[in-house]
Amino acid sequence: MSRYRGPRFKKIRRLGALPGLTSKKPRSASDLRNQSRSGKRSQYRIRLEEKQKLRFHYGLTERQLLRYVRIAGKAN
């Protein structure tokens, strides 16, 4: 299984706590710089962020995640 090799802490700051990536504690909310820039979250953005949380937490690629979703859909 391939691993995410990019900047981990950027992902943690963007998506929230991801126990699979690090054991360090995230920064406090008042310490973040671009906090006021994010506006209203669309449904697309919410779904995309949840999908990315799954991917980075479990260390999956996009293709592996789609495969698991298809298998789970057939099981129901």
Nearest alpha carbon to residue 55 among 11, 13, 22, 24: 11
4 and 59 Cβ atoms separated by less than 8 Å: yes
69 pLDDT above the threshold of 80: yes
Nearest alpha carbon to residue 4 among 52, 49, 46: 52
42 and 49 Cβ atoms separated by less than 8 Å: no
pLDDT (tens digit per residue) in 40-60: 889 999 999 999 888 888 888
Structure tokens at 53: 């949380």
Could you tell me what percent of the chain has a pLDDT over 70?
A: 68
Q: Is the pTM of this model over 0.75?
A: no
